[in-house]
């Protein structure tokens, strides 16, 4: 069915079908055990196992909105082909459910996304991470119906990066250069001629940039280390004079703030406070949901815990950040779903904290005797998967939660 010539083809506020899809969303993602934990001061004791749940966890508003809009799109266009530009969020269960609904997830290749199979009468969903300017322009050229679920917190960062490019500042982005959100954010500099960016993964990489500003690191070192993480034609001599700091919203907030402070302090040391005031800008765009979940797990870690379980996709940046916080204080297991815990074998399959893309299996991961287990979950983890994890932890000790 072709779209009438005068019909809208871009939707950012859903289709007014919130009520119609609520039952499906509740069936697919709500969790009875999580409801019980909330009602009981986020604690459950069964047998010799005590479960402590962080007070902020799981689906954030931006994720809920993105998933809901995908369900609305399927309800609005039951007979049309629907594509999703990459995963809508980084959660295997949610993305598998969308595939079951007949939504085809396009995954990027070496040259990015291939939209050659998309037709004007198709529906294309843009994920919570957003898409690059180039991908957006390509889809608009096709003329297909676009459902934009980009998170509002991400849009705030885009506005900041766009303002940097407009005013002649290079955007220094704390993030992972290969992450969908960071690629989309970095692309915002294209809105202005000469816009530039550099992406730093952590404080160590930020200090390399600071070293260049101080004259202790060469331009060749910068270009080699960041060859995949800078804008085309990046010239350190020219493009590290005026810097504006931004971030991928799901990074560790404290590190983003520290990187901003380090870069600003370096400019002040080398060129004076006046240069810092004129040639440096920082940001106030840390995602509130990311901050709340990090604050809540920090608070939970003040309690005596024997082990932490962090639930979320292995490619979920905000989940990785939560696991990193937990791993500083207590043995921590980052699992991508409840099935990572095998009660019969008493094993756990997990992503190693702080080790890129390395997974492992461990037997006897729950200590003997009375045990206190802390739990949190990334912003893309639905409540039912959190509840299933609780049940599997208890079952590992032969306990059934009668709630």
- Split into its structural domains, the chain has a count of 3
Residue 362 has pLDDT above 80, yes or no: yes
- 315, two tokens: 């490619």
CATH of the domain at 369: 3.40.1010.20
Instruction: Give the Å distances, CA to CA, from 327 to 84, 297, 332, 337.
Output: 34, 11, 5, 18
Residue 7, in any domain of the structure: no
CATH of the domain at 75: 3.40.50.11270
| Separation CA 142–CA 121 (nearest Å) | 9
Half-sphere exposure of 149 (CA within 13 A, CB side): 26
- 264 plus 222 within the same structural domain: yes
Question: What domain range includes position 339?
Answer: 28-60+289-396
Q: Alpha helices of 2-142 — where are they, by DSSP H?
A: 18-29, 32-39, 61-76, 92-100, 133-142
Of residues 87, 180, 181, 205, which has the active-site annotation? 181
For 149-181, how does the pLDDT look when each residue is reduced to its tens digit (9 = 90+)?
A: 999 999 999 999 999 999 999 999 999 999 999
Orientation angle between helical segments 18-29 and 383-396, nearest 10 degrees: 10
Residue 10 lies inside a defined structural domain of this protein: no
Q: Are residues 177 and 214 in the same domain?
A: yes
pLDDT of residue 3: 57
Same domain, 267 and 324: no
Q: Is the pLDDT of residue 379 over 60?
A: yes
In a domain, 9, yes or no: no
Task: Note whether 68 and 50 are same-domain residues.
Answer: no
Domain boundary among 226, 251, 286: 286
Q: Let me know whether 308 and 379 are in one domain.
A: yes
- My answer on whether 200 and 232 are in the same domain is yes
Q: What are phi and psi of 82, to 5 degrees?
A: -125, 130
What is the pLDDT averaged over residues 369-397? 96
pTM listed for this prediction: 0.90
* Mean pLDDT value of segment 223-249: 97
pLDDT higher than threshold 90 for residue 326: yes
Strand 10-11 with 145-148, pairing: parallel
pLDDT at 111: 84
Q: Do 125 and 207 belong to one domain? A: no
Active site residue 205: no
Q: Give the pLDDT of residue 170.
A: 98
Q: Which residue has the higher pLDDT, 252 or 376?
A: 376
40 and 127 in a common domain: no
Among the candidates 232, 256, 286, a domain finishes at 286
Q: What is the mean pLDDT of the chain?
A: 94
Q: How confident is the model at residue 231 (pLDDT cuts 50, 70, 90)?
A: very high
Nearest CA to 89 out of 262, 315, 272 is that of 315
Does residue 166 sit in the same domain as residue 177? Answer: yes
pLDDT confidence band for 4 (50 / 70 / 90): low
């Amino acid at each position: 069915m072709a779209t009438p010539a005068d019909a809208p083809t871009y939707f950012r506020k859903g289709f007014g079908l919130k009520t119609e899809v609520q039952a499906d969303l509740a069936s697919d993602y709500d969790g009875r055990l999580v409801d019980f934990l909330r009602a009981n001061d986020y604690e459950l004791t069964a047998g010799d196992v005590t479960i402590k749940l962080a007070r902020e966890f799981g689906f954030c508003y931006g994720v809920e909105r993105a998933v809901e809009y995908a369900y609305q799109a399927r309800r609005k266009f039951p007979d049309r082909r629907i594509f999703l530009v990459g995963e809508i969020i980084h959660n295997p269960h949610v993305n598998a459910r969308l595939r079951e609904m007949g939504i085809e997830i396009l995954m990027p290749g070496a040259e990015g996304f291939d939209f050659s199979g998309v037709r004007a009468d198709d529906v294309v969903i843009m994920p919570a991470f957003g898409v690059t300017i180039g991908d957006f322009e390509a889809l608009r050229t096709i003329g297909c119906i676009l459902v934009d679920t980009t998170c509002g917190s991400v849009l705030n960062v885009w506005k900041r990066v766009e303002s940097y490019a407009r005013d002649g500042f290079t955007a220094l982005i704390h993030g992972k250069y290969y992450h969908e959100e960071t690629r989309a954010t970095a692309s915002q500099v294209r809105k202005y001629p000469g816009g530039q960016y550099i992406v730093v993964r952590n404080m160590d990489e930020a200090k390399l940039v600071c070293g260049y500003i101080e004259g202790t690191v060469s331009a060749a070192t910068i270009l080699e280390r960041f060859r995949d993480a800078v804008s085309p034609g990046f010239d350190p001599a020219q493009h590290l004079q005026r810097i504006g700091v931004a971030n991928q919203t799901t990074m560790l907030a404290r590190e983003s703030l520290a990187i901003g402070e380090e870069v600003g302090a370096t400019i002040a040391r080398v060129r004076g406070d006046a240069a810092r005031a004129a040639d440096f800008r920082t940001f106030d765009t840390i995602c509130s949901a990311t901050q709340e979940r990090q604050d809540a797990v920090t608070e939970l870690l003040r309690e005596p815990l024997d082990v932490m379980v962090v639930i979320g996709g292995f490619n979920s940046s905000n989940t990785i950040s939560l696991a990193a916080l937990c791993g500083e204080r207590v043995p921590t297991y980052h699992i991508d779903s409840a099935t990572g815990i095998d009660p019969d074998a008493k094993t756990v399959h997990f992503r190693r904290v702080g080790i890129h893309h390395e997974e492992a299996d461990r037997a006897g991961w729950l200590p003997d005797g009375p045990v206190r287990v802390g739990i949190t979950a990334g912003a893309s983890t639905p409540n039912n998967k959190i509840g299933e994890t609780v049940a599997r932890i208890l079952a590992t000790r032969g306990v059934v939660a009668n709630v």
